[in-house]
Structure 1
Amino acid sequence: MPAERPQRLRAVLVAGRDPSSRLLEDLPPAWQGEIIGPEVDSWRERIESSRNIKINLAGVPDHLRVELAWMAHWQFRDGLRVSVSAFTLIASLITWALEHDRRVPDSMAEADWRDLCTLYKLRFEARHGRLPTADPDRLRPALGFPRLALTARLHEGHWWELDTWQPRCDPRIPQREREPRGAEGCSPGHAQIPWVREAIKWTLGTWLESGTLSWSTIIDRRVLALLRFDRWLSTLDDPTVVAGDPSQAGALAAAFRHWTSDPRNRSAAGNNIEGTSVRRINSDLTAVAEFMIFLLDNRPEGRQILGASPWDGLTEAHPAAWARQASRERQRQPQLVDEMHYVDDDTLVQITSCLPALGAVEGETVTASIRGREKALTGRGDPQAMRMLLLQILTGRRASEISLCDYDCLSPATGRALEAADGEEVARFRYSQTKIDQAPDTILVDAEVVAVIEEQQRWLAEQFLGVQPRYLFLQRKGNALGTKPYGRGKYGRALRQFSEAAQVTDSNGNPVRLSHTHRFRHTKLTRLAELGLPVHVLQRYAGHANPTMSMHYVARREEHAEQAFLATRKFKADGTDLAFSREDHDGMHLFDRADRFLPNGYCLLPPLQSCDKGNACLTCGVFVTDTTHQDTLKRQLAETTSLIERTTTQFQNRHGRPMPDDNVWLIQRVAERDALARLLTSMQSAPGRAVQGAGSPTGPTPVSIDLTRHRKTQP
């Protein structure tokens, strides 16, 4: 089947209805005349040229004049500078073409830059006898977003019938309140095969309207995958075989897998931007399978919308074969390692030392201290990117959650949160939860985070005078109303360029790409987990729907496993800290023996061994204690000595003779007294250290403990 050249713009107009009437309803009176400019508020501050200050639409047919005025007004409302010279030039080209019997577009929604460029060359040659040396690039701003917006406004059908989807220009496109890629558009109309193109637009549009997929998911995965599917079909002699004989579906899916595995086929231009991996290839196959399932499940409606098409031959065997092909080979999930997901302290010190250069005035020299050496960096003039990265490091939020957070994102901490702060300055930070519906969108932050946010708010007040910003981080250009957030693409480019200049390396000497900001989220959650934060609290802080995802973010660091085993803090029954050194914890190995805690110390008897000493622990060689029990032991020594004296005196008075030294009661009490004396003497000779077996006449008993058992995987 021959391929049809795709059209990026196509307006479907209702016959017999003048679209200009609808456009006029949108235009204020100051925008409806032949001359636009003098009566518009803030006009001089909102135009792109100080030389041409009026848009002259005299001589232009009424319907085209209204469309041009509407496009200029859209620029004004969008926060862009109005392209006065471009609209004036378009009007003059249309007027010249009418005077010289040249064809003019029926609507600006159908006007093409190349057609207007041809008119410009014809007029230039007629006036000067030669062709111009360059194309009129000043036309492009007027024929970009404004024309897309005009096309959407004139369109009477479903929004997904258009070939180009741009939420900025078409408010009919469903979006979540916080859409990370909401400012980006896509062009499913670039599909070359007509019956494939229409099916793709209908399927994706329905998924979006029903909430099956979000806009960001469609942009990230589905559109590009299905456009690759269309390009592959175009290479076949007969593309309709994809919905033909079901027995051939598996072979066709395998052929597509082989084709899409070639990096040269991953993009229409032949350059592999996103990279090739098993996961991406399987994602393409899954997208095609789900696409076929949708067409099968909605066959009656599809015949009404798409008409008769090769898709009528689809059976349940077709998507099943494509899905099986995707599941044949799966890429193993990479193990979480420090180099990939965790930023160590040394690297963080380098990053924070270099960050002032990112926010410094462009061209200014900033000196950073890296590993004790001075390094000169050139200012990049992007303080917003600097503060965004700082907030990501300090809070562990996603890049989209920072870039889309509201201007008024701080509120005072109240109630128990304020009481738990114990005098420290804390606030509640409301970020933009962009990924999980119904997930928390606030966390408590300290004074350092508050200072960064307040500094950004002061900067906005200086840069956007008289504007109440919607977002905390704003797009610098084309944003006079302060309604557009700092762009995701610009943020990534700024950090990539800064990484190349800063040359930050980790502890192993590997370069650190600051544009990979998600690793700061891994780092923050890993550190919180290493501080002993309960899993449910970590999940709440991360904003995850389940603890499994939170644990995925925690790097499994062997270094931390060692430190956690050695330095875990223990508490006494009264809630006070237990003063133990790391060596003492290693020696005690009490994790699996909570029943060995004694009133005035701890028992080091290895697991699975019983004790027959009763309460004679003071004289035992595996009994250990420390200075936290010193007062108790002193009191017990005084009481034991007093008990011995009182009891022996009573025995003397009752029997008329001293208590024998071999008396069973006296032997035990004297042993306890002597053991207590030896324990206290040992503590005084080794202050701050726990002592083992100091009360035993024979000294400490060696204890055999498997120090690696906690690292072994349980069967």
Structure 2
Amino acid sequence: MNGPRPPAPGRIEATDPIWRLWHELPSPWRGPIIGPEVENWDKITENDSARIRLHDLPETIAAELAWMAHWQARDGTRSSVLATNQLANIIRRAIRDRHPFPPSIRAMSWDQAAALQRWFYATRWGRLPPHGSIARLRVLFRFARLALVARCHDGHWWQLDDWHPRCDPRIPLSEREPQGNYGCSPGQIRHRWLREATKWQLGTALEAGTLRWSTVSQERIKCLTRFDRWLSTLGDPLQVLGDPADASIHAATFRRWDTDPANRLLRSNDRRFADRAVHPRQINDDLRAVAELFAFVAGNRADARRLLDTEPWSRVTEAHAAGWLRQVTRIKHTREINDAHYVDDHAMSQILAALPLLGLPRDQQMLITGDGGTPVAADGFDDPQAMRMILLQILTGRRASEIRTCRFDCLSPASAIAGEQIARFHYAQTKIDSAPDTILVDRQVTEIIAEQQRWVTGKFPDHEPRFLFVQRNGNRTGGKPYPPGTYTWMLREFSDRVQITDSHGRPIRLSHTHRFRHTRFTRLAELGLPIHVLQRYAGHATPTMTMHYIAARQQHAEQAFLATVKLKADGTRIQFSRNDHDSLHLFDRADRRLPHGWCLLPPLQTCDKGNACLTCSVFATDATHRTVLQRQLDDTTELIDRATTEFESKHGRTMPDDNIWLTHRRTEQQALTRLLDALPPEPGCTAGSGCSRPAVAGPIPLPLPISRTQP
């Protein structure tokens, strides 16, 4: 037993599939000593002085360990040399002491491996293994063993109990869906009949493209796992597939159980959500998942007989699915008018002032405002990537996944538009296939992206990065994106440290990054962007979805009301009563519309003033005519200056103040000046700034310096 000795090549197909994988390995990786002949060994291992030693092991286990070490190197992580050697030593000692162990790594679960490790430490050193040794061996049994099991499995990929696209390339992913950094375990469903049907239905839906990997792994498995837990509370779980007339009763019972937040928790670290109310939409999702499973099996009876146990699924009918669907409650899809998801200026200023702490090294400190307004020194979080990601979310309104998984070369060459340097940003649109995946961004965004590109290039100088934001650990080649769980955890810890509140004193959780999407679109809408432009910028398929993101702010409602104020020629406001229907209808009459306002003369009367509206008592205007009024004032002023200059040149004296022409022109000039002074200021303009053009949508001013020397 000095190394793996596979059977003759002609018999490989008829033997254990591990030998097929072993023959595909490069020769330096076939053992029994792996290391000296492997190119760049010091860069692909966790310890360049160690070698993997697979001598005196069963041939199958030696071949499996060799393949797992090679897979880790190709995956971009470092080969677990110390963990592999420790497991090899444990097995060699078990052979010597005749201690039982599984015949292969594939047949060895983590619990069995941990038990062998405890036996090894107890018999050799008389103590339990330290935490570091347990963690090191656990790494070997996470992804490497999953990849080994998947590659040696010749059946359907969905027949396995653990699914992970990183370990099993057979799992279908959509074009715009990134390689999943997360997996799921349908094997956790305890009732075998339910587990096998769940794997079949969800696997078929993925292959058909009716469901996406993110939906299956993050939602559907959890829904059916909760259903499995509820079944354990019943005396006879199979009664749910009994009389179809009782299906609605069972569904109602499950619905009541599912309403309790404590029953929905699937992990021990989810206990912080135990007191949160369950939204009816979440319960509906669970009910639909069960109903769709029943409908799928009932509609594919022939395949069900071949792939599943005939009992109990032979009892299920379409009536069972219909009974469960009847318990789905109807939720009114009326838009709730509020600003709960809007981050106001008070909170935004705190966020931008505290963000440098997120990128600050852990050995440095920064003063932040603590309870009661007292400055407190806080240690840095040493995560400049998270700092730049949340900045980009604030500035662009993109989803967290669209920033976190965007590609490294995400910017097109910059060009100058209206004096501004504009670039096209390609974000990772992973939710809607038909939606656009680019937006125009300004210099502020491009500088943040350029800073991140320099940081990534410095971290991985020998590799061409694939993603703009990368996983920091277990990512030797830089080919894995920043993990979603790490981003959420980092922002949650950051929120607990800095304690951001809005103008009403309500806490703002930065881990809920979707609120920045609401805020960005609300501000753009308030600047007057047309809905079709805002829909394109948001990356939505319909304008209805875009409108759900627009917050109804009371402050903006007041500003919008002031913008509709009608003024007379003398600058005083026109007061309309509820009975002024004739006056209100004048705004819809074409013959009462003027270039710079409206004529309020009653419909049956005619005007004898010509175009002298600025001296007329029934003339009205508002802020929408500001540009025309400003241009008219400039033209009138220029006309007065030109006429008085020509009069003085021709007659040798100034035009008298009582000149009838000059009197009328100055009256118009004064009226225009009063009107422009009385009109409410434009959005984005300060009082007295003389803004006369529409405000242009732009990025939020950031007082945060982006250092080029600090990562």
TM bracket (short chain) = 0.7 to 0.9
Q: How many residues matched?
A: 631
Asked whether the 8 Å contact 2:118–2:129 carries over to 1, the reply is no
The Cα offsets for residues 411-458 of structure 1, whole Å up to 9 and x where unpaired, read as: 1256xxx5xx12211111111111000211111100000000000011
Relative distance call for 1:153 and 1:452 in structure 2 (3 A) is same
Asked whether the 8 Å contact 2:435–2:540 carries over to 1, the reply is yes
Whether 1:148 aligns to 2:149 is: no
Asked whether the 8 Å contact 1:180–1:216 carries over to 2, the reply is no
Asked whether the 8 Å contact 1:48–1:84 carries over to 2, the reply is yes
Whether 1:364 aligns to 2:360 is: no
2:111 alignment partner in structure 1: 114
Where do residues 13-162 of structure 1 align in structure 2 (5 Å cutoff)?
Answer: 16-49=14-47, 53-128=50-125, 130-132=126-128, 134=130, 136-137=133-134, 138-162=136-160
Taking structure 1 as the reference length, the TM-score comes to 0.81
Asked whether the 8 Å contact 2:361–2:380 carries over to 1, the reply is yes
Deviates more, 1:520-529 or 1:329-338: 329-338
2:200 alignment partner in structure 1: 202
Asked whether the 8 Å contact 2:421–2:443 carries over to 1, the reply is yes
* Offset, 1:253: 0.5
1:378 alignment partner in structure 2: 379
SS of residue in 2 equivalent to 1:326:
coil
1:659 alignment partner in structure 2: none
The one-letter code matched in structure 1 to 2:492 is R
2:635 and 2:68 map into 1 onto residues whose CA distance is 86
Asked whether the 8 Å contact 2:599–2:618 carries over to 1, the reply is yes
Deviates more, 1:176-185 or 1:107-116: 176-185
1:395 alignment partner in structure 2: 396
The one-letter code matched in structure 2 to 1:348 is M
Whether 1:564 aligns to 2:567 is: no
2:433 and 2:362 map into 1 onto residues whose CA distance is 40
1:689 alignment partner in structure 2: 675
* Offset, 1:237: 2.0
**Which of 239, 260, 264 is the aligned partner of 2:262?**
264
1:280 alignment partner in structure 2: 282
The one-letter code matched in structure 1 to 2:598 is C
1:425 and 1:591 map into 2 onto residues whose CA distance is 45
Asked whether the 8 Å contact 2:117–2:129 carries over to 1, the reply is no
Asked whether the 8 Å contact 1:627–1:688 carries over to 2, the reply is no
Asked whether the 8 Å contact 2:587–2:593 carries over to 1, the reply is no
Asked whether the 8 Å contact 2:369–2:498 carries over to 1, the reply is no
1:408 alignment partner in structure 2: 409
SS of residue in 2 equivalent to 1:468:
coil
Asked whether the 8 Å contact 2:335–2:548 carries over to 1, the reply is no
Relative distance call for 1:685 and 1:291 in structure 2 (3 A) is closer
The Cα offsets for residues 259-283 of structure 1, whole Å up to 9 and x where unpaired, read as: 1112222134575566522221111
Asked whether the 8 Å contact 2:176–2:433 carries over to 1, the reply is no
2:168 and 2:41 map into 1 onto residues whose CA distance is 25
The one-letter code matched in structure 1 to 2:407 is D
1:306 alignment partner in structure 2: 308
Q: Larger C-alpha radius of gyration, 1 or 2? A: 1
Where do residues 114-513 of structure 1 align in structure 2 (5 Å cutoff)?
Answer: 114-128=111-125, 130-132=126-128, 134=130, 136-137=133-134, 138-179=136-177, 182-268=180-266, 272=271, 275=276, 276-327=278-329, 330=331, 335-338=336-339, 340-367=340-367, 376-413=377-414, 418=416, 421-513=417-509
1:622 and 1:532 map into 2 onto residues whose CA distance is 30
Please, what is the CA RMSD of the aligned residues?
Answer: 3.5
Relative distance call for 1:133 and 1:561 in structure 2 (3 A) is closer
The one-letter code matched in structure 2 to 1:453 is I
2:32 and 2:500 map into 1 onto residues whose CA distance is 58
1:700 alignment partner in structure 2: none
Relative distance call for 1:219 and 1:56 in structure 2 (3 A) is same
Relative distance call for 1:471 and 1:591 in structure 2 (3 A) is farther
Deviates more, 1:623-632 or 1:457-466: 623-632
1:699 alignment partner in structure 2: none
The Cα offsets for residues 198-247 of structure 1, whole Å up to 9 and x where unpaired, read as: 10110010111111100111122210111111121222222222121111
Asked whether the 8 Å contact 1:683–1:689 carries over to 2, the reply is no
2:707 alignment partner in structure 1: none
The Cα offsets for residues 503-557 of structure 1, whole Å up to 9 and x where unpaired, read as: 1111111111111111111111111111111111111111111111111111122
1:592 and 1:534 map into 2 onto residues whose CA distance is 23
Asked whether the 8 Å contact 1:474–1:485 carries over to 2, the reply is yes
Relative distance call for 1:684 and 1:80 in structure 2 (3 A) is same
Asked whether the 8 Å contact 1:600–1:629 carries over to 2, the reply is no
1:708 alignment partner in structure 2: none
1:399 and 1:210 map into 2 onto residues whose CA distance is 27
Relative distance call for 1:582 and 1:489 in structure 2 (3 A) is farther
SS of residue in 2 equivalent to 1:511:
coil
The Cα offsets for residues 615-635 of structure 1, whole Å up to 9 and x where unpaired, read as: 556353112575643476689
* Offset, 1:289: 0.9
Asked whether the 8 Å contact 1:627–1:683 carries over to 2, the reply is no
SS of residue in 1 equivalent to 2:181:
coil
Where do residues 508-527 of structure 1 align in structure 2 (5 Å cutoff)?
Answer: 508-527=504-523
* Offset, 1:602: 3.0
The one-letter code matched in structure 1 to 2:364 is E
Relative distance call for 1:206 and 1:686 in structure 2 (3 A) is closer
Relative distance call for 1:568 and 1:134 in structure 2 (3 A) is same
Mark the runs of 5 or more structure 2 residues left unpaired by the alignment: 1-11, 577-582, 622-628, 644-658, 679-711
SS of residue in 2 equivalent to 1:555:
coil
SS of residue in 1 equivalent to 2:428:
coil
Mark the runs of 5 or more structure 1 residues left unpaired by the alignment: 1-13, 571-577, 641-672, 693-715
Asked whether the 8 Å contact 1:474–1:482 carries over to 2, the reply is yes
The Cα offsets for residues 159-218 of structure 1, whole Å up to 9 and x where unpaired, read as: 000011111111111112333682111111111111111101100101111111001111
Relative distance call for 1:296 and 1:104 in structure 2 (3 A) is same
* Offset, 1:290: 1.2
Asked whether the 8 Å contact 1:358–1:380 carries over to 2, the reply is yes
Where do residues 654-665 of structure 1 align in structure 2 (5 Å cutoff)?
Answer: none
2:91 and 2:301 map into 1 onto residues whose CA distance is 46
* Offset, 1:143: 1.5
1:602 alignment partner in structure 2: 597
1:561 and 1:364 map into 2 onto residues whose CA distance is 45
Asked whether the 8 Å contact 1:48–1:83 carries over to 2, the reply is yes
Taking structure 2 as the reference length, the TM-score comes to 0.81
SS of residue in 2 equivalent to 1:313:
coil
* Offset, 1:142: 1.2
2:708 alignment partner in structure 1: none
Percent of aligned positions that are identical: 47
